[in-house]
Copies of this chain bind each other. A is one copy, B any other.
Protein backbone atom coordinates (compact mmCIF):
# COMPACT_ATOMS: atom_id res chain seq x y z
CA UNK A 1 0.00 0.00 0.00
CA UNK A 2 1.38 3.41 -0.97
CA UNK A 3 1.76 5.85 1.90
CA UNK A 4 1.45 9.61 1.87
CA UNK A 5 2.00 12.45 4.28
CA UNK A 6 -0.83 14.98 3.96
CA UNK A 7 -0.20 18.50 5.20
CA UNK A 8 -3.55 19.37 6.73
CA UNK A 9 -4.42 22.76 8.18
CA UNK A 10 -8.13 21.92 8.18
CA UNK A 11 -8.92 24.62 5.60
CA UNK A 12 -10.62 24.36 2.22
CA UNK A 13 -7.54 23.55 0.15
CA UNK A 14 -5.73 21.10 2.40
CA UNK A 15 -8.96 19.24 3.24
CA UNK A 16 -9.73 18.81 -0.45
CA UNK A 17 -6.15 17.69 -1.04
CA UNK A 18 -6.53 15.07 1.70
CA UNK A 19 -9.53 13.60 -0.10
CA UNK A 20 -7.62 13.63 -3.39
CA UNK A 21 -4.85 11.61 -1.74
CA UNK A 22 -7.46 9.21 -0.37
CA UNK A 23 -9.05 8.82 -3.81
CA UNK A 24 -5.62 7.90 -5.21
CA UNK A 25 -5.44 4.96 -2.81
CA UNK A 26 -2.77 6.11 -0.40
CA UNK A 27 -2.53 5.18 3.25
CA UNK A 28 -2.82 8.60 4.90
CA UNK A 29 -0.60 10.21 7.55
CA UNK A 30 -1.83 13.71 8.35
CA UNK A 31 0.38 16.50 9.67
CA UNK A 32 -0.78 19.74 11.28
CA UNK A 33 0.94 22.60 13.08
CA UNK A 34 0.26 24.75 16.09
CA UNK A 35 2.26 27.95 15.70
CA UNK A 36 0.30 30.53 17.65
CA UNK A 37 -2.20 31.12 14.84
CA UNK A 38 -5.32 33.04 15.89
CA UNK A 39 -7.44 30.50 14.04
CA UNK A 40 -6.24 27.45 15.92
CA UNK A 41 -9.82 26.23 15.68
CA UNK A 42 -8.66 24.79 12.34
CA UNK A 43 -6.76 22.10 14.25
CA UNK A 44 -9.89 20.45 15.61
CA UNK A 45 -11.14 20.30 12.03
CA UNK A 46 -7.86 18.65 11.00
CA UNK A 47 -8.31 16.11 13.78
CA UNK A 48 -11.88 15.30 12.81
CA UNK A 49 -11.07 15.06 9.11
CA UNK A 50 -8.18 12.72 9.90
CA UNK A 51 -10.60 10.42 11.70
CA UNK A 52 -13.12 10.60 8.86
CA UNK A 53 -10.61 9.52 6.20
CA UNK A 54 -9.19 6.82 8.45
CA UNK A 55 -5.69 8.29 8.69
CA UNK A 56 -3.09 5.93 10.17
CA UNK A 57 -1.72 8.76 12.27
CA UNK A 58 -2.42 12.47 12.84
CA UNK A 59 0.71 14.23 14.01
CA UNK A 60 0.48 17.77 15.42
CA UNK A 61 3.78 19.61 15.73
CA UNK A 62 4.11 22.71 17.89
CA UNK A 63 6.35 25.40 16.44
CA UNK A 64 7.68 28.54 18.09
CA UNK A 65 5.29 31.41 17.35
CA UNK A 66 6.80 33.43 14.51
CA UNK A 67 6.99 37.21 14.53
CA UNK A 68 6.30 39.45 11.57
CA UNK A 69 2.85 38.15 10.66
CA UNK A 70 -0.73 39.17 11.39
CA UNK A 71 -1.79 35.51 11.62
CA UNK A 72 -0.37 35.45 15.14
CA UNK A 73 -0.21 38.08 17.86
CA UNK A 74 -2.11 41.36 17.98
CA UNK A 75 -1.51 42.76 14.48
CA UNK A 76 -4.74 43.48 12.60
CA UNK A 77 -5.73 41.22 9.72
CA UNK A 78 -6.32 42.79 6.31
CA UNK A 79 -9.99 42.73 5.30
CA UNK A 80 -12.17 43.47 2.31
CA UNK A 81 -9.45 43.26 -0.30
CA UNK A 82 -10.08 42.56 -3.97
CA UNK A 83 -8.34 39.72 -5.75
CA UNK A 84 -6.27 42.32 -7.59
CA UNK A 85 -5.13 43.82 -4.31
CA UNK A 86 -4.24 40.36 -3.01
CA UNK A 87 -2.19 39.58 -6.09
CA UNK A 88 -0.15 42.79 -6.02
CA UNK A 89 1.65 42.40 -2.75
CA UNK A 90 2.50 39.80 -0.14
CA UNK A 91 -0.01 40.38 2.69
CA UNK A 92 0.75 40.77 6.40
CA UNK A 93 -0.72 37.30 6.93
CA UNK A 94 2.43 35.88 5.34
CA UNK A 95 4.29 33.75 7.89
CA UNK A 96 8.08 33.73 7.35
CA UNK A 97 9.18 30.44 5.80
CA UNK A 98 5.95 28.72 6.84
CA UNK A 99 5.49 26.28 3.99
CA UNK A 100 9.25 25.68 3.98
CA UNK A 101 9.06 24.54 7.60
CA UNK A 102 5.87 22.57 6.98
CA UNK A 103 7.37 20.65 4.06
CA UNK A 104 10.63 20.05 5.97
CA UNK A 105 8.62 18.42 8.77
CA UNK A 106 6.60 16.46 6.22
CA UNK A 107 9.85 15.20 4.73
CA UNK A 108 11.04 13.99 8.11
CA UNK A 109 7.69 12.26 8.68
CA UNK A 110 7.94 10.71 5.20
CA UNK A 111 11.34 9.27 5.99
CA UNK A 112 10.16 7.91 9.33
CA UNK A 113 7.18 6.00 7.90
CA UNK A 114 8.76 5.35 4.49
CA UNK A 115 6.13 7.33 2.60
CA UNK A 116 6.05 7.64 -1.18
CA UNK A 117 4.46 11.06 -1.41
CA UNK A 118 3.79 14.33 0.39
CA UNK A 119 0.54 16.12 -0.44
CA UNK A 120 0.24 19.88 -0.02
CA UNK A 121 -2.77 22.07 -0.78
CA UNK A 122 -0.81 24.86 -2.46
CA UNK A 123 -2.81 26.87 -4.99
CA UNK A 124 -1.46 29.48 -7.35
CA UNK A 125 -4.61 30.67 -9.12
CA UNK A 126 -6.99 32.32 -6.65
CA UNK A 127 -4.33 32.77 -4.03
CA UNK A 128 -3.15 35.16 -1.40
CA UNK A 129 0.13 36.20 -2.94
CA UNK A 130 2.37 33.98 -0.81
CA UNK A 131 5.70 33.17 -2.49
CA UNK A 132 5.72 29.69 -1.00
CA UNK A 133 2.57 28.60 -2.87
CA UNK A 134 3.84 28.93 -6.43
CA UNK A 135 4.66 26.18 -8.96
CA UNK A 136 8.35 27.15 -9.18
CA UNK A 137 8.61 26.90 -5.38
CA UNK A 138 7.09 23.40 -5.39
CA UNK A 139 9.42 22.36 -8.22
CA UNK A 140 12.48 23.63 -6.35
CA UNK A 141 11.40 21.64 -3.31
CA UNK A 142 11.11 18.46 -5.37
CA UNK A 143 14.68 18.94 -6.58
CA UNK A 144 15.85 19.44 -3.00
CA UNK A 145 13.96 16.36 -1.77
CA UNK A 146 15.62 14.26 -4.46
CA UNK A 147 19.01 15.15 -2.94
CA UNK A 148 18.09 15.39 0.73
CA UNK A 149 17.14 12.02 2.15
CA UNK A 150 18.48 8.54 2.67
CA UNK A 151 15.61 7.14 0.61
CA UNK A 152 15.87 9.50 -2.34
CA UNK A 153 19.65 9.21 -2.70
CA UNK A 154 19.35 5.41 -2.48
CA UNK A 155 17.11 4.97 -5.53
CA UNK A 156 13.73 5.68 -3.90
CA UNK A 157 11.38 8.56 -4.54
CA UNK A 158 9.33 10.89 -2.37
CA UNK A 159 6.99 12.83 -4.60
CA UNK A 160 5.77 16.28 -3.57
CA UNK A 161 2.23 16.48 -4.91
CA UNK A 162 0.17 19.66 -5.13
CA UNK A 163 -2.93 18.55 -7.02
CA UNK A 164 -4.72 21.91 -6.64
CA UNK A 165 -1.81 24.01 -7.84
CA UNK A 166 -3.38 25.15 -11.11
CA UNK A 167 -7.05 25.13 -10.08
CA UNK A 168 -9.33 28.04 -9.33
CA UNK A 169 -11.25 28.02 -6.04
CA UNK A 170 -14.51 27.08 -7.76
CA UNK A 171 -12.85 24.07 -9.38
CA UNK A 172 -11.46 23.04 -5.99
CA UNK A 173 -14.92 23.20 -4.39
CA UNK A 174 -16.47 21.25 -7.28
CA UNK A 175 -13.82 18.54 -7.11
CA UNK A 176 -14.08 18.37 -3.32
CA UNK A 177 -17.87 17.96 -3.44
CA UNK A 178 -17.45 15.11 -5.92
CA UNK A 179 -14.97 13.48 -3.55
CA UNK A 180 -17.32 13.92 -0.60
CA UNK A 181 -15.33 16.48 1.41
CA UNK A 182 -17.49 17.47 4.41
CA UNK A 183 -16.85 21.21 4.07
CA UNK A 184 -18.98 21.89 7.13
CA UNK A 185 -16.09 20.33 9.08
CA UNK A 186 -13.39 22.57 7.56
CA UNK A 187 -12.22 26.00 8.67
CA UNK A 188 -10.66 28.78 6.61
CA UNK A 189 -11.22 32.08 8.47
CA UNK A 190 -8.08 33.71 9.82
CA UNK A 191 -9.81 35.86 12.42
CA UNK A 192 -10.05 33.48 15.33
CA UNK A 193 -13.79 33.81 16.00
CA UNK A 194 -16.34 31.04 16.33
CA UNK A 195 -18.00 32.06 13.03
CA UNK A 196 -16.25 33.00 9.77
CA UNK A 197 -15.65 36.77 9.68
CA UNK A 198 -16.46 36.84 5.93
CA UNK A 199 -13.99 39.69 5.48
CA UNK A 200 -10.44 38.33 5.72
CA UNK A 201 -8.61 37.22 2.57
CA UNK A 202 -9.21 33.59 3.39
CA UNK A 203 -12.97 34.05 3.83
CA UNK A 204 -13.16 36.10 0.64
CA UNK A 205 -11.46 33.42 -1.40
CA UNK A 206 -13.61 30.70 0.12
CA UNK A 207 -16.84 32.61 -0.59
CA UNK A 208 -15.67 33.20 -4.16
CA UNK A 209 -15.09 29.47 -4.63
CA UNK A 210 -18.49 28.40 -3.38
CA UNK A 211 -20.31 31.20 -5.25
CA UNK A 212 -18.68 30.38 -8.54
CA UNK A 213 -19.36 26.70 -8.00
CA UNK A 214 -23.03 27.60 -7.47
CA UNK A 215 -23.06 26.18 -3.96
CA UNK A 216 -23.63 27.64 -0.51
CA UNK A 217 -20.74 27.40 1.90
CA UNK A 218 -22.14 25.15 4.65
CA UNK A 219 -20.38 27.32 7.27
CA UNK A 220 -22.62 30.28 6.27
CA UNK A 221 -26.33 30.22 7.06
CA UNK A 222 -28.84 30.66 4.23
CA UNK A 223 -29.93 34.18 5.12
CA UNK A 224 -26.36 35.44 5.27
CA UNK A 225 -25.52 33.61 2.06
CA UNK A 226 -28.43 35.27 0.23
CA UNK A 227 -27.23 38.63 1.51
CA UNK A 228 -23.71 37.90 0.26
CA UNK A 229 -25.10 37.38 -3.26
CA UNK A 230 -26.44 40.90 -3.33
CA UNK A 231 -23.50 42.93 -2.08
CA UNK A 232 -21.08 42.39 -4.90
CA UNK A 233 -19.47 45.72 -4.25
CA UNK A 234 -18.34 44.55 -0.93
CA UNK A 235 -17.39 41.06 -2.03
CA UNK A 236 -15.66 42.41 -5.04
CA UNK A 237 -14.07 39.10 -5.77
CA UNK A 238 -17.34 37.69 -7.02
Contact = CB atoms under 8 A, between A and B. Distances in A.
A134 interface: yes
A223 interface: no
Interface string A120-150: 0000000000011010110011011011111
Contacts of A68: 111-112
Interface residues of A, number: 37
A180 interface: no
A61 B104 CA distance: 15
Interface string A73-98: 00000000000000000100010111
Interface of A: 61, 64, 66-68, 90, 94, 96-101, 103-105, 107-108, 111-112, 131-132, 134, 136-137, 140-141, 143-144, 146-150, 152-154
Given A140-B140, A140-B144, 18 more contacts: A61-B64, A66-B108, A68-B112, A90-B154, A96-B111, A97-B104, A97-B107, A97-B111, A100-B104, A101-B104, A131-B148, A131-B150, A131-B153, A132-B147, A137-B147, A140-B146, A141-B144, A144-B144
